[in-house]
Amino acid sequence: MTANILSLAIIVLTYTHSIVNGFSINSKLSVNGRYVATNELQAMIEADIESDEVFVDPGLAPVQQAKESAAVMLGSVQTDEDQINPVAEDLKLYNKLTPLSGQDEVKGTVLCKGMGTEAYTDPGSSTQRLVTIAPKDAVKIALSAMDANPDGGKLRITFAGGDDLMIHEVLQGVEMMTSGLNLGSGTSVEFRSLCHKSFPLEKCGVAAVNVKADTDEGAYFHDGQWWTCAEDDFTSII
């Protein structure tokens, strides 16, 4: 979870043009007798030695906002003959999630969907640790139960998970899904990853949907339920 929050914080601070100020201050906890708070608890209890003035790390506000919001990472997939390269490009925050009544409300043709679980297998006497990450496990399950075949055009891959859903794991899942679908050369691929504290840890849902146009905020599958983020619930990053 810590690594995920750090990754999310980096994206938030990058898009708010505050990455330098947000992190450089942490390397100096005391400057000329003044203690600088580096988290919410320290901000409450630590004060300037002389004036009792509290200094709060300016990078905390967007991080806290991200933790309390539904965070959606958006990206696209660049492909050539030899490799598949998913690239994260943007981050959006929403005040809440909106449930859909069922798959019929998903705009587009659902090709496949699945749920994955993170697992760590005791290697025993072996030195090789066996790790199954939830996004890749979800993709594997989804590809084993296809509902429809790709028809070219535009493909949207969506992931949904809890606070431990990590960026690099999502990118691996996108690459695996893109490769497994055997898409035609004319297919445009985008992906979106939804992270929200209401989803349980160590689980991830995935869906691949053929869409005709970029007319909605995307549909996300998790544990038998479809979700979306309404445009009206979009909130600007602090």
Domains of the chain, residue spans: 2-65, 70-235
| pLDDT range class, residue 37, cuts 50, 70, 90 | very low
Q: In this prediction, what percent of the chain has a pLDDT beyond 90?
A: 50
Can you give the pTM of this predicted structure?
0.72
What is the C-alpha separation between 150 and 238, in angstroms, rounded?
Answer: 39
CATH domain 70-235 topology: 60s Ribosomal Protein L30; Chain: A; (3.30.1330)
What is the C-alpha separation between 179 and 208, in angstroms, rounded?
Answer: 12
Q: What is the dihedral sign for C-alpha 51, 57, 58, 63? A: negative
Q: What pLDDT does 194 receive?
A: 96
Q: What pLDDT does 18 receive?
A: 32
In this predicted structure, the answer to whether residue 43 has a pLDDT above a threshold of 50 is no
List pLDDT tens digits, range 56-83.
555 556 667 767 789 999 999 988 767 8
46-55, 123-132, 210-219: segment of lowest average pLDDT: 46-55
What is the C-alpha separation between 231 and 133, in angstroms, rounded?
Answer: 31
Per DSSP, the residues of 182-193 read T--TT-EEEEEE
In the chain, the N- to C-terminal Cα span, in Å, equals 22
**Buried-exposed string 112-149: b where 16+ CB fall within 10 A, e elsewhere:** bbbbbebeeeeeeeeeeeeeebbbbbbbbbbbeeeeee
Q: Are 181 and 156 in contact (CB under 8 A)?
A: no
| pLDDT range class, residue 182, cuts 50, 70, 90 | confident
Alpha-carbon dihedral angle through residues 102, 117, 214, 109, given to the nearest 10 degrees: -50
Enclosing H/E stretch for 86: strand 84-94
What is the C-alpha separation between 8 and 14, in angstroms, rounded?
Answer: 10
Average pLDDT, the chain: 77
| pLDDT range class, residue 12, cuts 50, 70, 90 | very low
The DSSP 8-state label assigned to residue 42 in this structure reads: H
In this predicted structure, the answer to whether residue 102 has a pLDDT above a threshold of 50 is yes
Contacts of 58 (CB under 8 A, 6+ apart): 18, 21, 22, 25
